[in-house]
């Protein structure tokens, strides 16, 4: 896929499987893990474009990748077109596309003019998409957006049709409004959006298994599915596993050690992965461990090696 056209993935006759942008979690090491288990496309965590352009330190800490880390989409938070286009130009040699976050509902983001408030600024979003399109030479480089829905779905459809006209490559729809957290996902809304566009649409929200992938695909007719917490709990989900297989746990240990993943991040991922396959007393012990060697010893004694 490296250097190829990511849009070809949408013509395989099955939904494209995507790892969501996740703050602290969808970093290089975790992307390597999910790619081993049939994930087609990975997103970086959301990066604030203005900070990224302002500081070399921010660029080095926020964006790490490798030759095998493809197809890769870099997600930015931005509120003006030139800053987004500048950031896209910096990452374009090392990635397959950029995505504009129009869905983050957190108060800090919205108060800064980022994230979910952008769904109410269709002209600005159009302008941002167009700027990136015009300033990246590679015609195969994608420009996408990730949105939440409005209470009045006509506004969402209008936004999507406007950005489609501006040249957006695809749209990811999290089927909740900015105010909704754990309420059921509005798959009917995702279907309505899909039916009103001719570009690919990716469904996001509460996808925890391959059964969910199939069900959402049947319900909505989307071109892809994006998972976040489902993949944290089971990074092998897209390969059809019901719960995290032991092989995947040990793969994570190897990959994290190889990448020098900080202990807290390494440990947090394992807490998520082991949640469904461990007992409460085991979890209590595991959650209190404070070194990589203690974690490896615990895994060997509790689950055995492969």
User: Is 21 annotated as contributing to ligand binding?
Assistant: yes
Backbone angles phi, psi at 135, to 5 degrees: -105, -5
Cβ count near 294 (within 10 Å): 15
Q: Say whether 104 is catalytic.
A: yes
Question: What per-residue string of b and e applies to 198-232 under the rule 16 or more CB within 10 Å gives b?
Answer: ebbbbbbbbbebbebbeebbeebebbbbbbbebbb
- Listed in sequence order, the residues at least 6 apart from 196 whose beta carbon sits closer than 8 Å to its beta carbon are 157, 160, 161
- What is the token pair recorded at 102? 């129009």
User: Is 174 annotated as contributing to ligand binding?
Assistant: yes
User: Is 229 annotated as contributing to ligand binding?
Assistant: yes
User: Is 150 annotated as contributing to ligand binding?
Assistant: no
Query: CA–CA separation, 276 vs 65, rounded Å?
Result: 30
User: Is 22 annotated as contributing to ligand binding?
Assistant: yes
Q: Among 39, 42, 104, 160, which one carries the catalytic annotation?
A: 104
Cβ count near 135 (within 10 Å): 15
Task: Detail the residues annotated as belonging to a binding site for FMN.
Answer: 21-23, 75, 174, 228-229
Which segments are annotated as binding site? 21-23, 75, 174, 228-229
Active site residues: 104
């Amino acid at each position: 896929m490296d250097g190829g056209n990511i849009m070809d993935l949408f013509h395989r006759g099955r939904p494209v499987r995507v790892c969501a942008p996740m703050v602290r979690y969808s970093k290089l090491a975790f992307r390597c893990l999910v790619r081993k288990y049939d994930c087609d496309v990975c997103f970086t965590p959301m990066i604030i474009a203005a900070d990224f352009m302002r500081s070399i330190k921010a660029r080095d800490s926020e964006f790490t990748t490798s030759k095998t880390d493809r197809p890769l989409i870099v997600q930015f938070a931005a509120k003006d077109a030139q800053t987004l286009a500048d950031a896209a130009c910096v990452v374009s040699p090392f990635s397959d596309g950029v995505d504009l976050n129009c869905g983050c509902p957190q108060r800090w983001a919205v108060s800064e003019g980022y994230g979910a408030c952008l769904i109410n600024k269709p002209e600005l979003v159009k302008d941002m998409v167009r700027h990136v399109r015009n300033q990246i030479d590679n015609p195969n480089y994608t420009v996408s957006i990730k949105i939440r829905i409005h209470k009045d779905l006509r506004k969402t459809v209008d936004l999507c049709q406007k950005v489609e006209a501006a040249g957006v490559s695809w749209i990811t729809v999290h089927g909740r409004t900015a105010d909704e957290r754990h309420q059921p996902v509005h798959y009917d809304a995702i279907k309505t959006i899909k039916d009103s566009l001719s570009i690919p649409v990716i469904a996001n929200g509460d996808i925890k298994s391959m059964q969910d992938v199939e069900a959402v695909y049947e319900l909505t007719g989307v071109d892809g599915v994006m998972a976040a917490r489902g993949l944290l709990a089971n990074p092998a989900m897209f390969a059809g596993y019901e719960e995290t297989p032991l092989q995947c746990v040990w793969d994570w240990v190897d990959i994290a050690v190889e990448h020098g993943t900080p202990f807290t991040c390494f440990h947090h991922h394992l807490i998520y992965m082991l949640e469904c396959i461990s007992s409460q007393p085991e979890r209590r012990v595991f959650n209190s461990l404070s070194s990589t060697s203690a974690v490896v010893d615990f895994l060997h004694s509790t689950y055995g090696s492969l």
